[in-house]
Structure 1
Amino acid sequence: MAIDWYDEFVDLNYTPDSDEIICLFSCEPASGISMKEAAGRVASESSTGTWTTLFSLPPRMRALQATAFEIDGPYLKIAYPIGLWEEGNAVQLLSGIAGNIFGMKAVNHLRLIDATLPEAYLRHYKGPHFGMDGIRDMMGINGRPLTGAVPKPKIGFSAAEHAEIGFETWMGGFDFVKDDENLTSTAFNRFEDRVIALAKQRDRAESLTGEKKSAFLNITADTETMKKRADLLVANGWNYAMIDVVVAGTAAVMTLRDYCSDLGLAIHAHRAMHAAFDRDPRHGITMQFLAKMMRLIGVSQIHTGTAVGKLVGTAQEARVLADILREKKTMGVPQMSLDQDWGHIRSAFPVSSGGLHPGLVPDVLDIYGDELVLLVSGGIHGHPDGTRAGAAATMQAIDAWHEGVTLEEKAAGSPELKRALEKWGSYQPK
Structure 2
Amino acid sequence: MDYLDLKYTPKEDIVCTFILKGKEDKKTLSSKIAGESSTGTWTKVLYSKKELNAKVFSINKDTIKIAYPLELFEKGNIPQLLSSVAGNIFGMRGIDKLILRDIDFPKKYVEAFKGPELGISEIRKKTGIKERPIVGTIFKPKLGMSPKQMAENAYLVFSAGLDFAKDDENLSNQDFCKFKERFNLITKVLDKVENERGRRPIYAINITAPYDEMVKRAEFAKENNGNCIMVDAITLGFSSLQSLLSKKWGMLIHCHRAMHGAITRSRDFGISMLVFAKLLRLTGVTELHTGTVVGKMEGSKEEVVEINNFLRKEWFNIKPIFPTASGGLHPVLMPELIKILGKDLMITSGGGIWGHEMGAASGAKAMLQAVDAGVKNIPINEYARTHKELESAIKSWKGFEKENYNYKIKH
Same fold, TM-score > 0.5, yes or no: yes
Q: 1:42 aligns to what?
A: 33
Q: In 1, distance between residues paired with 2:351 and 2:190?
A: 21
Structure 1: 5+ residue stretches without partners: 1-6, 329-341
Q: 1:310 aligns to what?
A: 296
* 1:235, distance to aligned residue in structure 2 (A): 2.3
Q: 1:23 aligns to what?
A: 16
Equivalent residues of 1:130, 1:346 under 8 A apart: yes
Provide, for residues 168-187 of structure 1, a one-character-per-residue CA deviation record: whole Å limited to 9, x for no partner. Answer: 11122111111011000001
Equivalent residues of 1:304, 1:352 under 8 A apart: yes
Q: TM-score, with normalisation over the residues of structure 1?
A: 0.92
* 1:363, distance to aligned residue in structure 2 (A): 1.1
The aligned length equals 403
Equivalent residues of 2:336, 2:374 under 8 A apart: no
Q: 1:222 aligns to what?
A: 210
Q: Secondary structure at the match of 2:6?
A: coil
5 Å-filtered alignment, 1:397-408, equals: 397-408=370-381
Q: Secondary structure at the match of 1:394?
A: helix
Provide, for residues 28-70 of structure 1, a one-character-per-residue CA deviation record: whole Å limited to 9, x for no partner. Answer: 11x3x2111110111001100011012x325xx1111100111
Equivalent residues of 1:318, 1:367 under 8 A apart: no
5 Å-filtered alignment, 1:59-98, equals: 61-98=49-86
Verify: 1:187 aligned to 2:175, yes or no: yes
* 1:212, distance to aligned residue in structure 2 (A): 1.8
* 1:16, distance to aligned residue in structure 2 (A): 1.6
Verify: 1:119 aligned to 2:107, yes or no: yes
Equivalent residues of 2:338, 2:375 under 8 A apart: no
Verify: 1:415 aligned to 2:388, yes or no: yes
Corresponding residue to 1:386 among 359, 368, 390? 359
Equivalent residues of 1:149, 1:176 under 8 A apart: yes
Q: In 2, distance between residues paired with 1:209 and 1:118?
A: 46
Equivalent residues of 2:335, 2:375 under 8 A apart: no
**Which deviates the most, 62-71 or 350-359?**
62-71
Q: Secondary structure at the match of 1:9?
A: coil
Equivalent residues of 1:132, 1:347 under 8 A apart: yes
Corresponding residue to 2:134 among 146, 153, 176? 146
Percent of aligned pairs with the same amino acid: 39
Verify: 1:133 aligned to 2:121, yes or no: yes
Q: 2:409 aligns to what?
A: none
Q: In 1, distance between residues paired with 2:71 and 2:51?
A: 8
Q: In 2, distance between residues paired with 1:258 and 1:138?
A: 22
Equivalent residues of 2:10, 2:67 under 8 A apart: yes
Corresponding residue to 1:53 among 44, 63, 81? 44
Q: In 2, distance between residues paired with 1:172 and 1:396?
A: 11
Q: In 2, distance between residues paired with 1:368 and 1:361?
A: 10
Equivalent residues of 2:96, 2:268 under 8 A apart: no
* 1:25, distance to aligned residue in structure 2 (A): 0.2
Q: Secondary structure at the match of 1:217?
A: strand
Provide, for residues 67-93 of structure 1, a one-character-per-residue CA deviation record: whole Å limited to 9, x for no partner. Answer: 011111111000000100101111111
Q: In 2, distance between residues paired with 1:94 and 1:118?
A: 16
Letter in 2 for 1:376: S
Letter in 2 for 1:347: P
Q: In 2, distance between residues paired with 1:42 and 1:164?
A: 55
* 1:106, distance to aligned residue in structure 2 (A): 2.6
5 Å-filtered alignment, 1:273-292, equals: 273-292=259-278
Q: In 2, distance between residues paired with 1:177 and 1:396?
A: 17
Verify: 1:369 aligned to 2:355, yes or no: no
RMSD: 1.1
* 1:318, distance to aligned residue in structure 2 (A): 1.3
Structure 2: 5+ residue stretches without partners: 406-411
Q: In 1, distance between residues paired with 2:223 and 2:157?
A: 23
**Which deviates the most, 379-388 or 166-175?**
166-175
Q: TM-score, with normalisation over the residues of structure 2?
A: 0.96
Q: Secondary structure at the match of 1:184?
A: coil
* 1:142, distance to aligned residue in structure 2 (A): 1.1
Q: 1:332 aligns to what?
A: none
Letter in 2 for 1:41: K
Q: 2:331 aligns to what?
A: 358
Q: In 1, distance between residues paired with 2:38 and 2:133?
A: 43
Q: In 2, distance between residues paired with 1:127 and 1:403?
A: 33
Verify: 1:13 aligned to 2:7, yes or no: yes
Q: In 2, distance between residues paired with 1:280 and 1:172?
A: 41
Give 4+ residue runs of structure 1 displaced > 3 Å after superposition.
none
* 1:344, distance to aligned residue in structure 2 (A): 1.0
5 Å-filtered alignment, 1:262-341, equals: 263-328=249-314
Q: In 2, distance between residues paired with 1:291 and 1:376?
A: 21
* 1:370, distance to aligned residue in structure 2 (A): 0.7
Letter in 2 for 1:278: T
Letter in 2 for 1:417: L
**Which deviates the most, 353-362 or 140-149?**
140-149
Q: In 1, distance between residues paired with 2:95 and 2:287?
A: 34
Letter in 1 for 2:257: R
Q: Secondary structure at the match of 1:311?
A: coil
Provide, for residues 339-388 of structure 1, a one-character-per-residue CA deviation record: whole Å limited to 9, x for no partner. Answer: xxx21111111000000000001111011111011001110111111110
* 1:402, distance to aligned residue in structure 2 (A): 2.3
Equivalent residues of 1:10, 1:40 under 8 A apart: yes
Q: 1:346 aligns to what?
A: 319
Letter in 1 for 2:355: G
* 1:270, distance to aligned residue in structure 2 (A): 0.3
